[in-house]
């Protein structure tokens, strides 16, 4: 996934990066989303730190668990949804 950000930058995109814990509270996610938005980039790229994604009560039985559970977290970050729905073809 990081390779795409290099290509985007080579083609003129400004990329803002974040590394977040999947265990953040909604307040913490609100803060980090606002921090990345302050960079005014047209590409916002954040990852969730390994070991902070899979719920403690889940036993990981496949190598895809970290990836699968990221979506449950990401879809529930209000700031990401707000940003996504504010985009349009003519925006930026």
Return the bridge partners of 48, or none: 20
77 within domain boundaries: yes
23 within domain boundaries: yes
91 within domain boundaries: no
Axis-axis angle for helices 26-37, 78-86 (nearest 10): 40
pLDDT tens for each residue of 51-74: 898 888 877 776 767 778 888 899
Q: pTM for this one?
A: 0.82
Range of the domain at 8: 2-86
In the chain, pLDDT over 90 holds for what percent of residues?
A: 62
52 within domain boundaries: yes
Nearest Cα residue to 53 out of 64, 45, 39, 43: 64
92 within domain boundaries: no
Domain total in the chain: 1
Residue 75 has pLDDT above 70, yes or no: yes
């Amino acid at each position: 996934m990081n390779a795409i950000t290099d290509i985007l930058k080579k083609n003129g995109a400004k990329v803002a990066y974040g590394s977040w814990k999947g265990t953040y509270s909604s307040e913490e996610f609100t803060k980090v989303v606002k921090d990345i938005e302050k960079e005014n980039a047209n590409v916002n790229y954040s990852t969730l730190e390994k070991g902070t994604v899979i719920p403690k009560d889940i036993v990981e039985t496949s190598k895809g668990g970290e990836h699968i559970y990221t979506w449950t977290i990401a879809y529930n970050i209000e700031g990401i949804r707000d940003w996504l729905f504010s985009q349009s073809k003519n925006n930026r």
